[in-house]
Structure 1
Amino acid sequence: MGRLEFEVTARRVDAHGSEARCKEAVIALDTDLAGNPGAFNPAELLLAALSACIIKGIERVVPILKFSLRDVRVHVHGVRRDVPPRMESIAYEIVIDTDEPDRRLDLLHDNVKKFGTVFNTVSPGTTLTGTLRRKQPCA
Structure 2
Amino acid sequence: MQFDVVSVRQSTHASESRCKDAVITLDTDMAGNREAFNPAELLLAALSACMIKGIERVTPILKFSLRGVEVHVHGVRQDVPPRMESITYEIVVDTDETDRRLDLLHDNVRKYGTVFNTVAPGTELSGVLRRKVSL
> With structure 1 as the length reference, what TM-score do the two structures score?
0.97
Tell me, yes or no, if structure 1 residue 94 matches structure 2 residue 91: yes
Asked whether 1:109 is paired with 2:100, we answer: no
SS class of match (1:130) = strand
1:93 counterpart SS class: strand
Superposed, which structure 2 residues align to 1:1-139 within 5 Å?
4-138=1-135
Ranges of 4+ aligned residues in structure 1 off by more than 6 Å: none
Give the share of equivalent positions with the same residue, in percent: 76
- CA-to-partner distance for each residue in 1:106-134, whole Å, 9 max, x for gaps? 00000000000000000000000000000
Give the RMSD, CA atoms, in angstroms.
Answer: 0.2
SS across alignment from 1:59:
helix
Can you list the C-alpha shifts for 1:32-78, whole angstroms capped at 9, x where unaligned?
00000000000000000000000000000000000000000000000
Instruction: Encode CA deviations 1:5-54: one digit per residue, 9 max, x unaligned.
Output: 00000000000000000000000100000000000000000000000000
Matches of 1:130 and 1:24 in 2, distance apart? 33
- State the TM-score, normalizing by the size of structure 2: 1.00
Describe the SS at the equivalent of 1:113.
helix
Count of paired positions: 135
